[in-house]
Amino acid sequence: MKIMLLPIITLIWVTAGAVIAWTMPAANQLRATPAAFYHVPMAIAMEIAFVLSALYGIGWLRGRRVESDARSVAYAEVGFAFGIVALITGSVWAKINWNSYWSWDPQQIGIVATLLTYAALFSLRGATEDDLRRRDYWAVYAILGVIAAIFWTFVFRHLTSFSLHPSKTLTGSDPLFKFALRFNIVGFTMLLIWIANLRTRVTMVEERLHDRALQPLQPLASAANEETKEAKDVQWVSN
């Protein structure tokens, strides 16, 4: 029952958020569109996913538990998907407001650069053969990626003086608008956690199937455990 609680709350919450989004009036000099209430929360959830991915990466480097690595990968994957949704809904909103899908706004450049970092992360993982090394490199690069993401999110828009994106949308706009945005941020963050949890479980099952799980998490029976240990010892010797 405890496991089912998060999906149920999340689904109700996100549905309620979608209903609010469709009924919202215009605010903060922006034209009203339901896309807005997906764009902002998705972008913020993507940033949260990146930070969580790096934190679980640190977890992997400290404890070398396969689950930390699986969670790190899961958050990066879901964050990447959320980022693409944020990019598309953002473009739709930009077309409505600024009459162009793409105008090289600092925020637009920032999200593309962040997605590029994610893509590099995946290509690095695909290119590394050694199992342990692959996970180590992943964690190290995820941490480096957060430094770049911090630059794009907080520094870059102050560096360039122009930006079409209005500032203080989350703190300074109409109370109802503000509430709807915050409500959806919480909803999509829960959605992020739920999907990432599911993804982690799938990865862990795959790990077991491929017998790749490392010792602390080895879920096999003790006899089988001994057997694999022996097999590994033999492999070491033959290497």
Which stretches of the chain bind other proteins, using CB under 8 A?
61, 113, 116-117, 119-120, 123-124, 127-130, 133, 136-137, 139-141, 143-145, 147-148, 151-152, 155-156, 158-161
Nearest residue (CB) to other proteins, 95 versus 136:
136
Going by C-beta distance under 8 Å and a sequence separation of 6 or more, which residues neighbour residue 18? 34, 37
Q: State how far the Cα of 219 lies from the Cα of 10, in Å rounded to an integer.
A: 30
In single-letter form, the type of residue at position 189 comes to: T
Of the candidates 148, 146, 141, 150, the one whose C-alpha atom is nearest the C-alpha of residue 122 is: 141
The CA R_g of the chain, rounded to the nearest whole Å, is 21
Give the shortest CB-52-to-other proteins separation in angstroms.
18
Q: State how far the Cα of 52 lies from the Cα of 140, in Å rounded to an integer.
A: 13
Give the shortest CB-136-to-other proteins separation in angstroms.
5
Other beta carbons less than 10 A from residue 46's beta carbon: 27
Give the shortest CB-67-to-other proteins separation in angstroms.
18
Nearest residue (CB) to other proteins, 161 versus 222:
161
Q: State how far the Cα of 211 lies from the Cα of 154, in Å rounded to an integer.
A: 42
Q: State how far the Cα of 17 lies from the Cα of 38, in Å rounded to an integer.
A: 9
**Main-chain dihedrals φ then ψ at residue 65, nearest 5 degrees:** -95, 135
Nearest residue (CB) to other proteins, 88 versus 143:
143
Q: How distant is the alpha carbon of residue 104 from its chain centre?
A: 23
Q: State how far the Cα of 124 lies from the Cα of 135, in Å rounded to an integer.
A: 10
Nearest residue (CB) to other proteins, 117 versus 189:
117
Nearest residue (CB) to other proteins, 2 versus 158:
158
Nearest residue (CB) to other proteins, 56 versus 93:
56
- Listing DSSP states for 17-55 in one string gives HHHHHHT---BTTB---TTHHHHHHHHHHHHHHHHHHHH
Give the shortest CB-1-to-other proteins separation in angstroms.
40
Give the shortest CB-213-to-other proteins separation in angstroms.
20
Give the shortest CB-130-to-other proteins separation in angstroms.
7
Nearest residue (CB) to other proteins, 98 versus 137:
137
Give the shortest CB-66-to-other proteins separation in angstroms.
16
